[in-house]
Structure 1
Amino acid sequence: MGWLKAFIPQHLSNERLLDILDILTFLKISKRKIRANRRANAETLTKAFSPGESFYAQGKYIENQPQWKRIRFGRFTIDYSGCEIIATYDAILSLGETLPEQGITDLIGAYEKKGAVLWGGWGVSPRAIYRYFREKGYDAAMTCSNAPEDIDRMGEEYCTAIITVYNDARDIMKQIHTMNVSKTDKNSFVLHNCYRRDRDGSYIMGAPHASLWETIKSLGSGKAMPICIIGINPQSNSLFAEQLIL
């Protein structure tokens, strides 16, 4: 069975995988479901600011996806398939922007309309994330290259990145994960929502690394393999400052 688990990561190109995910976005979430999710999510997030509710703190990176069980996305919930939404939210924060209290609700709704894969069960298509930032006026580029030099170039040229990786390049059953990688003042690279825990059990950001490639290879005890990298710079007046790289 080992060869079967490794077949997709080892033999399906990253570009073809993205093609498949794009095709599966044609299974649309109904407008009625999107409206119902928005109402429910807004109510839940409002309560999250009450004493004793601590799964969401406005203006802080989201590191705790497993605790988002009550927030809906399509036919599913954020804890199950919301890593791309969290990565988008964290990337916006890493660019120094402030989202409104219900900003995450707006983001969920945007991806429910355009980009949700298999009604949200497989998260969001990476190309939909790229298009989201481009349509909002950010400078962005995307690569499916596995070459360390290409990945490090993205890390050097862009203020923040969203990475989609196989958690284990030889076992598709360990699934795919999407995360934001921010850059610190010291030009170190830090993962967000990487399931790292502090001594008290709370979820925290990843340890700093010297390059984007090194950051990716720190995942899964070195077994992770990149599928695509989206580099993002702050909003500019030009919607066409960078080209999509595939």
Structure 2
Amino acid sequence: MMICGELKQEGVPDMWRSITYSFFICWLYSISGWSQTVSDTLDKQQEPAQKISLTAGLDRRFLFLKDTKDLEGLKMPIRVNGARVGLWLNNRHQVGIGYSFIRQPLRQHNLLEEPISFSAGLRRLNFFMIYYEPFLVRNDRWDVSLPVDIGWGTSRYEFATESVRGTLVKTGNFIPAGIGISVTAKLPALPKFKALHWLGVNAYAGYRTALKQDFPDSRASYRGAFYSIGPTFFLGRFWDDVRDWHRSRRQARSGGK
């Protein structure tokens, strides 16, 4: 599992942080090229040729934002829910779009650097992204990939204040980006439980940042490590089995006439 550290050094300009992030991403792709060559050699006999096809799935992960800490100063995980739809370009590359949202109760009174006192607060983040996912390993047992994404998001802060009647609302927009490593173990198709191979277990970890902040002078930050561990559903395997079932029924009907 890979979790990238955050560059937070005084005196380092934003330009150099961007250059460092770009160098790190290029380094990952250099590693991916080498790993893909090795993987192709090991399992090229196991992978059939694949045309462009559709894939989709739900997404749930936990994000450790820099501005979300408990009373002891430890980062607290925030649940992120979403969905994505993509296309397989071939056996090794996938592109697509996704949507995620966060609904988070707020505890910090000075998050936006405003002298307000509130009894309850809520942060709503919604963001769309486009993603590209190159696969280092893809066979009947494992998938290993390095997904990257960039998108556009909106933020909405709601405060039930003590000095203003009603709710104080602040809105903004930001540009999220992320990179991670995903490892999926695929369940086998048993003789009496063939549908089992529609399922798998996925572990996904990485780092998310914001290329543009919604409130530059505030303490709100969307930079942090994330992780996700849970079940996954293989839409392609499901549709392949459905097509095979329909084909078998047609052949059986044709043979019976």
Give the TM-score, by structure 2 length: 0.21
Q: Which has the larger radius of gyration?
A: 2
- Bigger helix share: 1
Higher relative contact order (CA 8 A, sep 6+): 1
- Bigger strand share: 2
